Amino acid sequence: MTGIPRDHPRYESLITREKIIDGIHMGITSQQGLVAQGRGEAFDYLIGERTTESAAFAERAAVAHILLAKNPIISVNGNTAALVPESLVALADVTGAMLEVNLFHRSDARVHKIIEHLKANGAGKVLGGKGDKRLGLSHDRAIVDEEGIFSADVVLVPLEDGDRCQKLVEMEKTVITIDLNPLSRTSLTSTVTIVDNVTRALNNMVQFTEDMKSGSKNSLQAVIDTYDNDRVISDALYSMQEHLKNKAEEKGITWI
């Protein structure tokens, strides 16, 4: 990773980009992942590069679903493996969920590299190598493990493809997504939409799990029962609008 000074105003953003580039060199991230990262970063600017109140609400609801699940699975793609391997492992450990590698640009070699990368960051068993079931899609994200995503009741799918999200919902699974675009197909289809940067969201979820896992099943269900995904999406859009308005007013620009 290149030497980026910590006092650079875009330090965190630049480090994130470098992690994706390193992931490409390691063979765990596709070049298309850079495009996806840039798109997400643009939406993060709009929301003020922060976890909003509604995003935190969604993260708590996501944790409640995972803690109540019988077979929760955390889906891992190339970008998440490159950006937040430690956080993925930490969330799996604290919640008891399993990790499963699932890729759009899939090869056995790349799946194996990601599995080994996760294990190098502390993971135990990682699913995704069998690929013994399909979800009924025409691309390789359809390939899943029977004991993992195929039989899961709750699936966390950060940085997801909209069509696979739709297929998982059709299979009557609870689908939790992390997507900075509140109007993406994924965001509009999911059971719980977390409009937050994956680097913040996973760390928040680890902390929320520590706070919530000793609670009763009724208390966890109460969090789920009060959750409204449409409201969360609406709040995300409002937060983006207000952030842009405030930035414009700071510069003396008339906001229409």
32 domain-assigned: no
pLDDT value, residue 169: 94
Task: Give CA–CA dist 26/5, Å, rounded.
Answer: 24
**Of 142, 147, 179, 145, the residue nearest 163 (C-alpha):** 142
Can you give the residue range of the structural domain that contains 162?
53-237
134, β-bridge pairs: 143
7 domain-assigned: no
pLDDT value, residue 81: 92
pTM for the full predicted model:
0.91
219 domain-assigned: yes
pLDDT value, residue 34: 67
Residues 6+ apart with CB under 8 A from 246: none
Residues of the chain with pLDDT under 70: 1-2, 9, 11, 33-35, 38, 160, 256
pLDDT value, residue 229: 98
pLDDT value, residue 216: 96
Task: Give CA–CA dist 248/236, Å, rounded.
Answer: 18
37 domain-assigned: no
Q: Domain with 177 in it: what CATH number?
A: 3.40.50.12640
Torsion (CA) 145, 148, 151, 153 in degrees, nearest 10:
-150
220 domain-assigned: yes
Number of domains forming the structure of the chain: 1
What is the number of alpha carbons within 13 Å of residue 72 lying toward its C-beta?
20
Q: Please state the separation of Cα 38 from the chain's center in Å.
A: 15
197 domain-assigned: yes
119 domain-assigned: yes
For residue 167, the 8-state DSSP code is H
33 domain-assigned: no
pLDDT digits (tens, 9 = 90+) for 94-134: 999 999 999 888 889 999 999 999 999 999 999 998 888 88
Task: Give CA–CA dist 188/205, Å, rounded.
Answer: 21
